Structure 1
Amino acid sequence: MYQAIVAFDLDATLLNQAKQIPTENLQALVSLRANQILPVIATGRDRFEIQDIIQAGQFDAIVSANGADVYFQDQQLFEDTLAPTVLNHLATWSEQQQVSLAVSNHDGMAISQIDDLVRLNYRRIHRELPQVDASYYQNRDISKALTFIADTPAGRQQEAQLRETFSDLTFYRNSDVCIDVVATGTTKASGIATLQAKAGFETLPVYTFGDGYNDISMLKAANVGIAMGNAPVAVQQQADYVTRRYDDNGIVDACQHFNLI
């Protein structure tokens, strides 16, 4: 019987610069399970692209695509999808704006075109470039899109237009090169709440670890929200506790501080 849930963001939180779980964090995961605590991945990435991390950390519970995909013990509990009409509109807008658009679900991903921003993004996360297929979203359930827009003065104007044009969607800038797009109200917090409700964990206390703006929802919703020392100040201000950096034993520090391990 689990006593608590601990949810981890991946990049710059649980993972090191090589996008792997370092030894000290792997040991912390083992200790959490020994203490009857359920470790959960809570990431903006899709489940298909983190199978190596899931296996390395022996995770049974995954909240991916910023909460749009919820998975527990070999079963998908929930998937929130983007409406076909919205995807058509988004694809048309992206083509007109010459913006690379990737669409994905838990099974796979495709992108409309490859440009320098796309290459930079996938080089950073140590993943292969997605297949090019501008029609991939047709006749598929799509849980997340990525628009590749640089965080520059011109890019910020384009981003503002994107957000205004699609005001009924939820956006998360996940880096200086791309923006996540999910259905209205989809957050990591909503994904964790869905996991709790569908797996019968409603009464368990929740601890969350994160460093990015898309982590704010789960930092605020958790019983204890823990920001990494490398998180922006605006993210740290939303947390209950700020631990050390992701590359300075921040996970272990906080788990010990709260007597989780």
Structure 2
Amino acid sequence: MSVKLIAVDMDGTFLNDNKEYNRARFAELYAQMKEQGIRFVVASGNQYFQLISFFPEIAHEISFVADNGGWVVSEEKDTFNGELTKQQFNTVIDHLLTLPHVDIIACGKRNGYTLKSYDDAFITMARSYYHRLELVENFSNLDDIFFKFALNLPDSLLDDTMTSLSEILDGVMVPVTSGHGSIDLILPGIHKANGLRILQEKWGIDDSEVVTFGDGGNDIEMLRQAKYGFAMANAPEKIKQIASYQAGHCNQQGVLDVIEKVLKKEAPFNA
């Protein structure tokens, strides 16, 4: 069974800690992937407009599972959108605004939205993840399609906040960790693995022909779904236990090393 799809998370996985990757090496590997008919998918919690900025030469011909599966774009074609109803949006926002230590980004199709009143350090950090970020007075009457909330909070409050959000927003949204001091609220069942499933159905690709790479809680479903799920060496222990395989560190081009093995049909891809 040959590999037909490779899906990568970005932060802490495909990108190193400086948010960079070896472009020359990847370009060579990508040319070989195309020759072998292997599709390349970027599956990230990040905004679509942010993700395409990393792949200016090939964004038009690859696919993106953006906003943790909330928005799937394939070869520049809109393929799938999750969407919160106005009522669900308000339910979530009304609760989040009662949490004093949480900064909120409402993730819409056109923009990310966050409050002008938040401190500059947070807004600067948010801009590094959201190519399109609008500063608003409040979250009421925003006209967009919303599929995710990104929350920033002190690390010490992470576990308790995850637990309480799971209970309070049960059935409306699911909290997943997406890195230090950050929680993404996603629509139930609308995760990265769901986005990949949509693309696999479109292309007729089985889970046994898929390689995925990730390092965080929002990668769990896609690491489990693919036959070849690789946790990064820098991933937390619980993520490594879920994945069937392990790749090298994100700062040492761990993903590119494994892609090279895929292309050369080396173990475990030679079965």
TM range (shorter): 0.7 to 0.9
Per-residue deviation, residues 1-53 of structure 1 (Å, max 9, x unmatched): x9601001001111122323323333322322222111100001110222211
Q: Which residue of 1 aligns with 2:44?
A: 43
Distance 1:242 1:155, change over 3 A: closer
Range with greater deviation from structure 2 (246-255 or 217-226): 246-255
- Contact 2:5/2:210 (8 A) holds in 1: yes
Q: Which residue of 2 aligns with 1:200?
A: 203
In the alignment of these two chains, the number of paired residues is: 257
Following the alignment from structure 1 to structure 2, what is the Cα–Cα distance between the partners of residues 253 and 160?
Answer: 37
Range with greater deviation from structure 2 (129-138 or 100-109): 129-138
Q: Which residue of 2 aligns with 1:27?
A: 28
Q: Which residue of 1 aligns with 2:17?
A: 17
Tell me if 1:144 matches 2:148.
yes
Paired residue for 1:237, among 241, 251, 256? Answer: 241
Structure 1 moving runs of 4+ over 6 Å? none
Q: Which residue of 1 aligns with 2:104?
A: 101
Range with greater deviation from structure 2 (73-82 or 56-65): 56-65
Distance 1:43 1:126, change over 3 A: closer
User: 1:111 deviation in Å?
Assistant: 0.8
Q: Which residue of 2 aligns with 1:166?
A: 169
Following the alignment from structure 1 to structure 2, what is the Cα–Cα distance between the partners of residues 32 and 3?
Answer: 10
Following the alignment from structure 2 to structure 1, what is the Cα–Cα distance between the partners of residues 264 and 46?
Answer: 26
Gaps of 5+ in 1: none
Gaps of 5+ in 2: 266-271
Following the alignment from structure 1 to structure 2, what is the Cα–Cα distance between the partners of residues 78 and 215?
Answer: 19
Following the alignment from structure 1 to structure 2, what is the Cα–Cα distance between the partners of residues 242 and 155?
Answer: 26
User: 1:259 deviation in Å?
Assistant: 3.7
- Contact 2:6/2:212 (8 A) holds in 1: yes
Distance 1:186 1:257, change over 3 A: same
Distance 1:62 1:126, change over 3 A: closer
Per-residue deviation, residues 211-252 of structure 1 (Å, max 9, x unmatched): 111111101100211111111111111112112111213123
Following the alignment from structure 1 to structure 2, what is the Cα–Cα distance between the partners of residues 138 and 52?
Answer: 25
> Identity across aligned pairs (percent)?
23
Distance 1:176 1:247, change over 3 A: closer
Following the alignment from structure 1 to structure 2, what is the Cα–Cα distance between the partners of residues 104 and 6?
Answer: 26
Q: Which residue of 1 aligns with 2:55?
A: 54
Instruction: State the superposition RMSD in angstroms.
Output: 2.5
Tell me the TM-score normalized by structure 2.
0.84
Following the alignment from structure 2 to structure 1, what is the Cα–Cα distance between the partners of residues 158 and 220?
Answer: 23
Distance 1:9 1:144, change over 3 A: same
User: Residue type matched to 2:78 in 1?
Assistant: Q
Paired residue for 2:69, among 67, 70, 73? Answer: 67
Q: Which residue of 2 aligns with 1:130?
A: 133
